[in-house]
Amino acid sequence: MHRYILILLPLLCISFPLAIMAKGLSYDKLQHSESLLGQQACEDTLGESFSQRAHELFNMTMFKRNSTDSLTRERHDKTALHRIGKCFTNIFREFNHVDSSYIEPQHYNYALMLQNTNTYEMYTIGFRNGQRVTLAPEPTYRIGPYFGWRWVFLGYTLDFSHLGTGGSSKKEYDISLYSSLFGIDLFYRETGNDYKIRSMYMENGDRINEMDGVDFDGFHANIKGFNIYYIFNHHKFSYPAAFSQSTVQRRSAGSFLLGIGYTHQDLDIDLSELSQMVSERVKSEQTLLIDTTILEGEVKLNDYSVSSGYAYNWVFAHNWLFDVSMSLALGYKYTFGDSQNRHFTFRDFKFNNFNVDGVGRFGLIWNNTKWYAGASAVFHTYNYKKSAFWTNNMFGSVNFYVGFNFGKR
């Protein structure tokens, strides 16, 4: 019994003060409830102020090496260089931003492809008396492997059309770059030594059959230039799906195109040699006269153009695509010879120097994102007309390819 009392006494001594403290705390809570709310608001304000100050100190520490005046991150982000970087980042993102319900993006980093490329070109020159001649070399056939990393392809093709003949002096470089937003064509072509007369007509329209297929080395020409065009419906229409296999068009879509271009041509034809060849081969009582003074020396053409067109991707079956694209360009062309002023002035401006040019693209492809095969064709045509003569130049290429992608992203 005494043992229980000895145990209870200490418990009573502890519990009694605790009860008094609890009562005091309840009283204090009721009495100071409003002041606690104010204190909480004050602590929140102090907390935010403390957090902001800590953030400033962090920025001052982190950016001290990169900024001599200890700029904060906010001031650092507002620099002109940072704003320019953000602008370019947004632009590059927009280049390949697409609607995934229409366009499936590439799933692989690398590609291997075998491609056959066939190139064609043709020049037609007409004269004021009604005579005209069409010149063209033999088509060029090339085949070779290509290796691709994302949108960059490098390869080597072997010219099978001139094997064992010592090759051709012709030079040709054609590069087409396709993104979802823009497209670019770059080209440089220089004629070789293998031009032939494909057709020739007299003033009355009669064809001179004796001149068909005759070699003619008195013609030299080169052309270089570029085309840049904007694709309006780039979120749903994909040029890369038809021509670079970097995306897959899942639903049919089309887009209007708007572009600009520049072309420079050098043209030189020896009319005296042509006239002599005609007189040697044509056995006719009618005298065939070619005015050799129409084109004297090398003619240089500059062409500035604005183009507009439409392109359409037709998904006619699963993994299959057929593309048709046509653009017409209104080009202003002017000539200058070796004996004339090489600098164009407003006095030289003439409305009859406007001519219509064109670009056509066609593509057929099967692509299941892993394997692909198809064919594509791109052709350019340029026209020029003067009072004494006119010219039409057409060149292009037809490609057949098969390949596969690997190295999944």
Please give the Cα distance from 176 to 185 (Å, whole number): 5
pLDDT of residue 359: 93
Instruction: Find where tokens 């053409």 sit.
Output: 301
pLDDT of residue 323: 97
Mean pLDDT, residues 268-276 taken together: 84
Third-level CATH fold of 106-408:
Lipocalin (2.40.128)
Least confident window among 98-102, 180-184, 288-292, 398-402: 288-292
Residue percentage of the chain with pLDDT more than 70? 69
* Amino acid letter for position 333: K
pLDDT of residue 92: 62
296-350 tens-digit pLDDT: 667 888 899 999 999 999 999 999 999 999 999 999 887 765 434 445 455 555 7
Mean pLDDT, residues 51-68 taken together: 48
137-196 tens-digit pLDDT: 888 899 999 998 876 778 888 888 766 666 566 777 878 888 888 899 998 988 777 789
Would you say how long the chain is, in residues?
409
What region does 126 belong to: left with phi over 0, alpha with psi -120 to 50, or beta? Answer: beta
pLDDT of residue 210: 87
Both tokens assigned to 125:
């020159």
pLDDT of residue 192: 72
**Mapping DSSP to helix (H, G, I), strand (E, B) and coil, where does residue 73 land?**
helix
pLDDT of residue 297: 62
| Mean pLDDT computed over every residue of the chain | 77
358-373 tens-digit pLDDT: 999 999 999 999 999 9
Beta carbons within 8 Å of 57's beta carbon, 6+ residues apart: none
Instruction: Find where tokens 């006494």 sit.
Output: 9
C-alpha distances in angstroms, 214 versus 136, 210, 278, 282? 11, 8, 10, 12
391-407 tens-digit pLDDT: 899 999 999 999 999 99
What are the domain boundaries of the chain? 1-31, 106-408
Write down the pTM of the prediction: 0.72
Report whether pLDDT(270) > 70: yes
Is the torsion defined by CA of 386, 387, 389, 391 positive or negative? positive
Identify the DSSP state of 161. Answer: G
